[in-house]
Amino acid sequence: MRIAVLIAVCVAAACYNYDPVATPSPSPGTYIAATLTDAGSRELARALGENVFVVRGRYLGDRADTLLVSVSSVEMQRGNEVDWAGEAVSLPRTDIASLEVRRLAKGRSVLLIGLGVTGLVATTAAVKLIGDATPLRPGSGPPSKQ
């Protein structure tokens, strides 16, 4: 059971990179990051809010010249990030400066998992050592000298 929980935590905490899209359209369900043009940021202010720079979320598909995205967060031009609840937003391709796909960063994820496993083993060993100590009973101090 502990191993299953550890694996689930490690997968959820894995590290990711965003890489440029290699195909005209990513596969539906893929996590993407769409960097908006300045004009696109202004055009989409009603739907996304003022000064949005990057839109992150799941790619849902295409409609004419737009991408449909289930938005998980937006990054503002000042760098702060605002979480969203998965609302679907249409992004016109003309308003997108670049499109990137989120991919698993294998090296960093393996390092993170290794550190997690090492920490779990060390903690378990420390608790076992402390837990195996025999407690002193009242009045059972060191042996008396005869």
Q: If the chain, 146 residues long, is cut into consecutive pieces of 10 residues, what is the mean pLDDT of each piece?
A: 57 63 75 95 95 96 91 94 95 94 63 62 68 60 62
pLDDT score for 22:
59
Structural domain range at position 51: 17-103
With 0.85 as the threshold, say if the pTM is over it: no
Specify the pLDDT at position 117. 63
CATH number, domain of 32, equals 2.30.30
DSSP the chain: -HHHHHHHHHHHT--EEEEE-SSSSPPTT-EEEEEEPHHHHHHTHHHH-TTEEEEEEEEEEEETTEEEEEEEEEEETTS-EEE----EEEEEGGGEEEEEEEEE-HHHHHHHHHHHHHHHHHHHHHHHHHHTSPPPPTT--SPPP-
In a domain, 11, yes or no: no
On whether residue 39 sits in a domain, the answer given is: yes
**Domain presence at residue 137:** no
- The answer as to whether 127 is a domain residue is no
The verdict on residue 9 lying in a domain is no
**pLDDT at residue 131, as a whole number:** 63
144 in a structural domain: no
- Which pLDDT score, from 0 to 100, does residue 141 have? 58
> Would 70 be classed as within a structural domain?
yes
Give how many domains the chain has, as a whole number.
1
- Tell me whether residue 62 is in a domain: yes
